[in-house]
Every structure is written in C-alpha cells, then in structure tokens.
Amino acid sequence: MSPQQPNVMGEPPNSRPPSTYPHPGRPMGKPPGTKEPPAAPPKPRMEHHPLHQQPQQHPQPHVQQQQLRPPQPGHQPHMQPPHQQHQQPHGQLPHQPPQHHGQPPHQQQPHQPQSQVPQQQQPSQPQPPPGHLPHQQPQHHSQHSPEENARDQVQKGSQGNPAPLGSEQHSQAATNKHPAGHHPPEHQRLSHEQFRAALQMVVSAGDPRDNLDNFVKIGEGSTGIVCIATEKPGGRQVAVKKMDLRKQQRRELLFNEVVIMRDYHHPNIVEMHDSFLVGDELWVVMEFLEGGALTDIVTHARMDEEQIATVCKQCLKALAFLHSQGVIHRDIKSDSILLASDGRVKLSDFGFCAQVSPDLPKRKSLVGTPYWMAPEVISRLPYGPEVDIWSLGIMVIEMVDGEPPFFNEPPLQAMRRIRDMPPPKLKNTHKVSPRLQGFLEKMLVRDPGQRATAFELLQHPFLRQAGPPSLLVPLMRSFRHSPC
C-alpha cells in the first residue's frame, strides 16, 4: 500500500485524511507553519491527524484549518436558530451573518448579554482607602485530589480559547482565534511550566526508555509522531505516541486524551498502558494493533453485509459504554477504528472527546471532521452523544461506498450541504438489503432527538448477522515500517 500523504484545503481533490491513532501506514498531518525535517516530510493534512499513508485525492481538513476572512471589528456574531437555517444565504454557515461571508466558525465569539445599565452609567466599584488592601472573599481549602485540581487548572487555563475545530493543524487559526477586543486575560492562560506541572499529576514518573527499545516510526501528524517499540522484559510490541508540549495549539486536549484513555476501559477501546513526560514531550504508551485502521479496508476491499454488521456491533458496544459514562467521542470515522490481528475492533483517537454531566448536559464546540460531522455540530447548536451516532452512520456509508458523502467537495461546501440538505443516502442503494438500509436510516436522522441511541441500535435486526471478529481477518493487510 502506498503511503497516504496529508492534505491541506485548496489542494486538488481526491486525497484521503489520516486518522488520529497510531496505526501502521498512516502519517498524522502536521500543522501549517511547522518546520519540516530534511527528509520528505508529509504535507499537513487538515482533516484527520492520525497515520494514514495511502494518498487519495480528496482534501479532508479538520474544520480548524479553514482560512477564512476574519470578523470585522465590533461585529457581534450570533447563532442562527434551527427554524431559520433554511433562510441562510448560500455559502453562509448558520452562525455567520450574510455580510461576513465565509467567516470561520472558530472565530465566532459567543454572544454576551448586555447589562441592563449602559456601560458608561454602571456604578464604579468603591475603592479602598489608601494603604488598605481590597476586601477579599475568604478562601476555602480545596477538598479535591491533586489530580482533580490539576484538571481544573488546565480547564481554567484554556478559558477564553475557542473550541478545537477538529485538528490542531491550523496555525493561522491560533493567531486569529481572539478577534480584537475579545482577548482573554493573560492570567487565564497557563504557561508551559504550569501546564507541564499539571500534566505531571496524571502521568507516571520515570523514563519509559528504561523499559522500551527498538523504536520504529509508523507515522506522524499534527500532534507528534507515533512509533512502535519493544518492551524489554517480555518483548511485547507497543505503540508510543510522542507529542511535543510546546507545539500544541490545544494543550488541554492532550490532558483530556490521557485521562479518558486511562480511566475508561472496554474490550472495544484501545488500551493505554502508561503515559510519561520525557523532557517537553508527552509519551503515551498504548497497545499496538497490527490490523491497522478500518480506512485501509474500506478503500482497498469490498465488505459484505455480514462484515459491516460485525464492525458496527463492536463499535456500538464501545459507544454504548462511553455514552453511559457521559463521554462523547466527537470524531467517529473509519480512521478512528483499529483492528487487532484477530479481527477485534477497537475505538481510538480520544483527543477530541468531551464529558457531559447533569450540570453540563450539552456541548457546543465545533469539533470533528467535516464529512462526518452531524448537522447540529455544524449549526453550532447544543449537542450530546447523539452526534457520535450520526458519524457512525456516515462510517457505514464509507463501508458500503468506499468514502463518505460529498467527499469530492471542499470541506466547507460539504459542511453546508450536510447542514442544509436532507440526510445523505448510499450511492448503491440497490446493492444493500432493506435491513441495512433501515439500520442506516435510524442513525442519519437530522433531529438528534429522533436519532437512535447506541443501546437501541444494538438491538436492531441488522446486527443479528454480525459474526465473530475472525470474520474480518481476510480483509486486513500487512504493513511495512521505516526506522524511527
């Protein structure tokens, strides 16, 4: 299989994005502006940031990479209500006013309600007499564990930053993310040293190189490189993801990924063995899955319905577990699905996951990969775990048609179509059974409230034909690796 190169928006179509988890044969795209090594560096890919190396020819940028016109000074963006979406002029995203055509979602600032008293008439705060300190509220000692305090510190340190738009590859977005007049206070931003100290609360002490050797590079991307290595005691192969803390535009996502992978264990979720800080790099040691990513299968083989049902059933088990724990993955696609050598399916790529709770039941960040995004995410409406079900439906289309809908179109155009048009359908509808068609229709429902849940889909008649994991073994390929 020829290596798949990353892609940036504006290049010719027909290039497939990489995935975000370490698997053989796929480089993770680098962000623009990153200094390239002397030897044949991969071009930055906007959509997936994992390790897919088979070049195809469709740009798949993560949303964060769209370089659009910045907002005019003084403009206060607003969200378009769902019932008015059909009135949007062509080419406008729901939360974008017509006079600012093409303004990127991640540059929108949330609407702040105006005070009832005009700013110039608001009473000033009384000043303390000279020589007196201002009154301070009594401070209470935290009852949280050091790790919880570290997590709070990371979250507070990222306040004011817009949500990631699917990838950390767009350096221009990092420059323009705070329009004039909307910069967060400097004290809200964690310094490198503060973030590193917070991260030390959740990683293990020590140097992983004491127990690992024979590093072999299998990919690289926007967050770093991925190698396979051998454990010295037993000779087991593991995947090691190395990420430079100083090169991350959304550092709190690294914190997120480590905590989620460490705390949530399931047979259909990639297992994280350990994590370490090595200098200014975060090393995440995970199980190595020799089967590679599902994308390698959907682009080079034809899957029958029994195999599709087998993949879907294992994915839904992982999603049902995550959703029951209040975790939204937010980047479901074939690149995020890895296979073990025996055909077991595992969900990976937790860099963009989010936690919901009774206190915070919905999220609004524009996160994910354009072609797999649910309409409510693109519309910047509050959403929950149901966005993963839509993305899984798009992945089913991948397994049948070989690619997601609108894959030949630029990402922004594809997003507009997803937002404004009825749910996409299979190209080869006549080649699938009514059961598969009905299964897909349960997932691709525009109204998230009417979309089936992972638990409900596990009871669907289509999944009765799911077979054992070994059914997928004939579809898998072997890969070659280059020295790290």
Give the position of tokens 């910045």.
70
CB 48 within 8 A of CB 352: no
Give the position of tokens 């004290």.
187
Q: Which of 296, 331, 349, 388 is catalytic?
A: 331
CB 9 within 8 A of CB 65: yes
d(CA 159, CA 182): 12
User: Which amino acid type is present at position 79?
Assistant: M
Helix ranges (H only) for 332-401 are: 375-378, 386-401
Q: Is 359 a catalytic residue?
A: no
CA distance to 202, 252, 256, per residue, from 198 (Å): 8, 10, 12
Tell me the two tokens of residue 380: 């910047």
According to DSSP, residue 447 is labeled S
Tell me the two tokens of residue 174: 């990092």
Q: Which residues contact 12 (CB under 8 A, 6 or more apart)?
A: 57
Query: Is 242 assigned a ligand-binding role in the annotation?
Result: yes
Angle between helices 434-443 and 305-324 (to 10 degrees): 30
Q: Which residues belong to the annotated binding site for ATP? A: 242
Q: Which residues belong to the annotated binding site? A: 242
- Report, as residue numbers or ranges, the catalytic residues: 331
